[in-house]
Structure 1
């Protein structure tokens, strides 16, 4: 009963500025808060408070372990909310891009008693990455001689897991035993956990959007279907969300959210990775209608 949003219909709903909840925005890997100045201005123009989080910006800060990032971003958000309780009294939205989209999904599981209304993940690799183009990121850390098939030896090393967000996101479908036993981030947030499940289900709505430009790489993550909780198996066959064990077992509440009608997916043809933040016509059409 997964709902694919027809945003043209929802965009027609009239909401007064006084009814808008504030928005917190998180950038992706190597990104910065300044990249969202346009989005913030567009939200402000319709009478909505918005703030792009100036945390873990650029290199190497945004490459830090995602476990470390989740812990510290959660503390940052808690500080923002507690410093201005009136603004955030009725809750707030999280709008997050790329690595930030994954980080924010895990934040909603990590933060007990959060008051997040809606999570919007824009091209966030929810099940990780495994792609020749994305592999180039590893070459920035002097691993040029490794092939795509060999990178798991480095990614699942304990030092890489403690220090590199890219290693935390590396999900090699051909080495799932090593991924499950050695990756310290993704398996933790996808496995059964009652606290994580309760926290995730306290969201009113979760929205996952991504673009399809005709190949597995959207210009930032690969496979792009990871943004919708779909991922290839060892034979290269794409397993949709409903076929994933974490969904069938409802490990962190994704199936429950789907069944209650609050899980929204959108694939937009021709939209590349950075279009979500660079093109106002894209985020105004596919993101803003969810932010009431």
Structure 2
């Protein structure tokens, strides 16, 4: 739907258009659906599960920069002031929709985060596990992130309920995640039943 240059359209615009199709799929499957979302698609899926009343059971995020894609850690104030997407979803920027985002995110049965150190696109690769740089460019793990500690969108709640599953696979470059049989058999297939 949003291939090539169309993927540069604003994220909320893309989510609005995708939501129309997702609603139809969910209506056809009232027993629930799973999301398997790759790279930037993982951010779109996160926006969908946060912003709509959904019946997604498992959200599998495959090499997706859930805590951001590099983003200059020395200019986080600018990020918070001008980001209209990710900073609103993670609570870094106040949003009137934050309680809705959290309520919807907490409907997930499982959140599966997949990434690895040889990903040559997601920077830092640990962003696929909700970790990110501090101002000194040291990677700060998910549990030490402010959005986790504040439980701003429900990540800590899901984690404490053992509904967050983190998988790390070395030796997989970014363009190969979706085709890697080991990744599929170990970290995707078990969550599709």
TM-score range, shorter chain: over 0.9
Q: Which residue of 2 aligns with 1:119?
A: 59
Structural mapping, 1:151-190, within 5 Å: 171-190=71-90
Query: Which residue is equivalent to 2:110?
Result: 205
1:281, distance to aligned residue in structure 2 (A): 3.7
User: Deviations 1:69-125 (Å, cap 9, x if unpaired)?
Assistant: 11211121012333xx2xx1210000000001121112110112x110100000000
Aligned length: 188
What SS class does the counterpart of residue 36 from structure 2 fall into? strand
User: How far apart are the structure 1 equivalents of 2:8 and 2:68?
Assistant: 15
| Deviation at residue 175 of structure 1 after TM alignment | 0.4
Q: What per-residue deviation string (whole Å, max 9, x for no partner) do you get for residues 168-225 of structure 1?
A: xxx2211011000111111110017111111000111110001222xxxx12221111
Contact map agreement 2:142 2:148 (CA 8 A) in 1: yes
Any stretches of 5+ residues in structure 2 without a counterpart?
Answer: none
Q: Does residue 1:278 correspond to 2:183, yes or no?
A: no
What's the TM-score, normalizing by structure 1? 0.62
Partner of 1:35: none
CA distance in 2, matches of 1:265, 1:281: 15
Q: Is residue 26–residue 33 contact of structure 2 (8 Å, CA) maintained in 1?
A: no
| 1:108 aligns to 2:9 (yes or no) | no
What is the rounded CA distance, in whole Å, between the counterparts of 1:221 and 1:245 in structure 2?
A: 21
Contact between 2:33 and 2:55, CA under 8 Å: does it hold in 1?
Answer: yes
1:290 and 2:191 aligned: yes
Partner residue in 2 for 1:48: none
Could you tell me which runs of 5 or more consecutive residues in structure 1 were left unpaired when the two chains were aligned: 1-54, 131-170
What displacement does 1:282 show? 2.7
| TM-score, scaled to structure 2 | 0.92
Offset at 1:66?
0.8
Does 2:144 align with 1:252? no
User: In the aligned structure 1, how far is the partner of 2:88 from the partner of 2:187?
Assistant: 30
Deviations 1:136-190 (A, max 9, x none): xxxxxxxxxxxxxxxxxxxxxxxxxxxxxxxxxxx22110110001111111100
